[in-house]
Structure 1
C-alpha cells in the first residue's frame, strides 16, 4: 500500500502539462503563483524571526521556481517590529534572473526607503470594508486611496511596477458580507491610479465558490481578467475550491503562502493563506504549469516550520512526510 501511495504521489507531484489539453479552454494552462509567505506569512509572528532565516527562506523559494516572492514590508518598526530588517533583507537575498521581489509600501516614506534599498516592484494595501480600513490603517477607504496617489505617482515616474491589494473582498469581521460592487469600484480606482494588477483578498477566509462567483461576475466587468489575482485564506477550508472557481474565470495569478503561514490580527481565528504546496499539488494534478519544483518547495516549507517550531499547515507537506 505504501509503495502504491508513493507511486501515485510521484506522478501527481510531477504531472505532465498534457493534462491541460483535456480541460476547459477557460482554465489557464499556466499559473503564476505569488508567494507571500515571507511578508504576509511572517509579519504577525510574535517572536522576531532572525534575518538570516528570512533570507534563507526567500532564497529557497527562489530556488524552488517561484517567479514572484513578496519579501518584506517597509512599514514603521513601531507598528510591525517583525519587518524592521526590511532593507537588510532586500539587499542581501539572492536575486534570481526573471524573479520579481516586490515589497509592501503603505506610505510615501516607506516607498522612498524601499527604493533606496533597491526595490523594483511595490505593493499597496487597501480594504473594501470601512470598518476594517479604520482598524487596520486608521483611515476611511476613500482616505486610504487618496494616500496612495503620491506613492503611485512617484513609482510610475521611476518606472516601478505597483501591485494593489484589496482586503475583505467577501466578508469583514466587523461588517459582515461585503458587496461586490464596493470591491469593483475600488478595483477601478486602483487601475486608474496605475496599478498593473489587483489582488482580491478574502482576508478572513469566509468565501465559498458561490460567493466568489458573485464577486468575480461583478469585478470582471470593471477589469480585464489578466489584471486580477486572487488571495484566499483557508479559515473554513475553502481556499482551494475558491482558487479552482477563479481559474474557471480565466484568472491565472494566485497568491499563496508556503506551508500556510500567516493569518490576520484583526480577524480572530483567521488562518493563513492557501498553502503554496497544496496549490501547486492541485495545479500539477490538473496539468497546469507553475514552474515550481514541489519537492524543493516542500523542503522549504519544512525548513521554515522547523525554525518557527510549528507543524506545517500544508496538507501536502504533512502527507508527503508520512509517505
Structure 2
C-alpha cells in the first residue's frame, strides 16, 4: 500500500514537469484534493491554471472536463438536461460537463449567480438534482475554479455562500526568472503536457483518502485552529468571521498536508502555513478597514502572527 507521502511525491514530481517552479501551489492543491475539498484560483491569464488542472487529472488517471463560463451560460449547460425520447415517449437525462472527476470551471465569475448556484449542490453534497431526480457525482469529485482579477466588467462576484464552498483560495503568481528560463528551455515542438503519463490511479487515490483520516491531530493543535477562527469573529476589522466550515477545512487540509510531507501527525506549522489561503476568502472586512487599504489576507496574517504557536513535546 502506497503511503500518502509516496503518493504526494510522485504526483508533485509529475505535475512539475509541466508547471515549473510552483511546488508549493501543487502541494496545496493536492492536499485539498485528498482532504475532499475544492480550490479557487484567483490569478491573471496565462500563468498555468488550466495546465495545473489538466496535469493533475492526467497524473491521477482521472476524468477531466473544462467548463468555460460566459454570461449566457445556463444551469442546464452545467448540470445537464432532460430530453424527450420520441420513441419511448419518456424523458432521458443527458449529463452535463459537471459529471466528471476533476472539473475546471474557468472564469467562474463571468457567469450569472443562477448558474454559479448550480455548482453549489454538487460541491457540497456530491449530487445534482434535475427535474426532481438526484444524480450522484463521480468519486472523487474535485472542482478547480478560476477567477480573473483583471477584468471586472461583465463579471458577477461570487456570493459568500459560494465562496465558503471552496476549501482554499490560491494565487499562482508569475514564475521567478530561474523557473521561467527553465520553462522556456523546456518548450520544444510539443507542449510538455502531451507527453505526460499517469503515475497513479483510482485504487491508490482511494487508499490515500482513507489514510488521510488517520493522520493524528493533537488537542493543542486543534485549540490553535479554534483560537485563530475565534479571533476572526471578534477582530476589530472584521465584519463577518469564519464559519465552522472554515475550521473544518483548515483542520482537514492541515491533515492532508502533514501526510503529503510524510508525517502521521499534524504540527502547528501545517496550520499556520495554510491559514491565510484557507480563511481569507471566508471573511468580510469592515468598510473602514478597506479605506485603510487593508485586505483580507492582511487581517488573517495579523491574527495568525499575533497568536502563540503551541509547543508539542510528544511528537518529534
**TM-score normalised by the chain length of structure 1:** 0.28
**TM-score normalised by the chain length of structure 2:** 0.28
